[in-house]
Amino acid sequence: MMGLSEILSRINDGVFLELIFQENTDWDARLDSRDGIEFASAWSASYEQVLSSCPPEDESIRQVREAAFKKVYQITGNPDLAGYVSDDFGLIVQAFMHQVDSGFIHRLWQAYAQGTFPH
């Protein structure tokens, strides 16, 4: 598992998110696919698992969420996409920090780590 500082460093490295979001993609269609029952249900269940087993978000998690939002918005100009990415990174970091074992959250991180937007 990655630590919070390592994830924040990757967000701010000028390469990690740029490689994912610089491509000419119909981001609204990608967001719509995330609203499908399978992905949305898995995301919500993972969120509930983290919410029920972890303390509330702290400043370090908010810092990661804010950095992800700003970087994706800067790259794409799409506030909805930036919000989804911010939510993803908040979920990922909180799970990693509190050692929540979730296959879905692990796959969510793996998608980003492999240079793709999870959908």
Report yes or no: 61 and 36 within 8 Å, Cβ to Cβ.
no
pLDDT band at 116; cut points 50, 70, 90: very high
Distance between CA 87 and CA 119 in Å, rounded?
14
pLDDT digits (tens, 9 = 90+) for 17-63: 999 998 889 999 999 999 999 999 999 999 999 999 989 889 999 99
Q: What is the pLDDT of residue 1?
A: 57
CA–CA distance from 75 to each of 17, 23, 62, 66, 103 (Å)?
Answer: 8, 10, 20, 14, 29
Q: What is the residue-averaged pLDDT of the chain?
A: 94
- Count of CB atoms within 10 A of residue 19's CB? 10
Distance between CA 64 and CA 90 in Å, rounded?
7
Percent of the chain predicted with pLDDT > 90: 88
Question: Mean pLDDT throughout 108-119?
Answer: 95
